[in-house]
Amino acid sequence: MNDSSPSTNDDSTSTSLLDLIREGDDQGWRCLTELYGPLIYAWCRGSRLGPEDSADIMQDVFRAVVLHIGNFEKVASGSFRGWLWSITRNKVRDLHKVRAGKVRASGGSDGHEILQMQPAEEITGILDSTCVSGEQMLAHQALRIIKSEVKETTFTAFWRSTIDGIPPAVVADQLQIPVHSVWQARSRILRRARQLLENELGVSGAIVSTDSD
């Protein structure tokens, strides 16, 4: 755990995560993969892909982001999560189409497998049914990232006063720090969370109800 936040996380900066990605910032990419990777993987597993295929699709999605991140604001209506969802759904559907085609081409004794292959449309339906908002997962991942960036006391002050709902004065007494430090911790971490999640709709509100490890 670092004793202080990296320079890109300083409270004085208004640079968003996607701005950092567009600039090719290495830490920005690390945050992006840590924040959205588990969600993309969960979508893939929910579509009945195995662990290896899910990991491959996740990498394919991030490669697509590298190529098209500059177009996100132009083509996306809604959250960045929704854009990633569309990319993931298309890649999962394409994978199932390719595999279904290979089974059909094989013919012979393998023909019965065709009946066991789910049509791409059905796969899309499965994906749609498993495409929960993902807000809790993103909030959880955002807090994991932030926890690794700040002092333990700072995160504890935030957690107890914001998530657990303990009065700041009580938290200050528990941690033996000034009350204003508790308020600063709350402000700092919520600001960082907004920076990570500013392209999502409704996720910032999920921060207050997410669970800790």
* CATH number for position 140: 1.10.10
The pLDDT of 111-122, averaged and rounded, is 41
Rg (CA), the chain: 21
pLDDT at res. 106: 53
Is 195 a member of any domain?
yes
How many domains is the chain built from?
2
How many beta carbons lie within 10 A of that of residue 134, not counting itself? 23
pTM of structure? 0.67
Q: Where are the beta strands (DSSP E) in 80-202?
A: none
Are 32 and 108 part of one and the same domain? yes
Task: State yes or no: pLDDT of 120 exceeds 50.
Answer: no
For residue range 1-56, what is the model confidence (pLDDT) as tens digits? 443 333 333 332 335 788 888 888 888 888 899 999 999 999 999 888 899 999 99
Are 161 and 120 part of one and the same domain? no
Structural domain harbouring 70: 17-130
Phi and psi at residue 127, to the nearest 5°: -60, -45
For residue range 60-104, what is the model confidence (pLDDT) as tens digits? 999 999 888 877 765 555 678 888 888 999 999 888 888 776 655
Q: What is the DSSP letter of 149?
A: T
Helix (H, G, I), strand (E, B) or coil at 24: coil
Contacts of 107 (CB under 8 A, 6+ apart): none
Of 173 and 194, the structure prediction assigns the larger pLDDT to 173
The pLDDT of 167-183, averaged and rounded, is 97
Are 21 and 117 part of one and the same domain? yes
pLDDT at res. 27: 86
Q: What is the CATH number of the domain that holds 82?
A: 1.10.1740
pLDDT at res. 166: 96
Is 1 a member of any domain?
no
Are 23 and 118 part of one and the same domain? yes
pLDDT at res. 147: 94
Of 11, 8, 4, the closest CA to residue 23 belongs to 8
Tell me which H or E stretch contains 130.
helix 120-130
For residue range 126-170, what is the model confidence (pLDDT) as tens digits? 444 445 457 788 888 999 999 999 999 999 999 999 999 999 999
Taking each helix axis from N to C end, the angle separating 120-130 and 80-106, rounded to the nearest 10 degrees, works out to 150
Of 190 and 131, the structure prediction assigns the larger pLDDT to 190
Is 12 a member of any domain?
no
Sign of CA dihedral 190, 193, 194, 200: negative
Q: Contact 190/144 with Cβ under 8 angstroms?
A: no
pLDDT at res. 132: 46
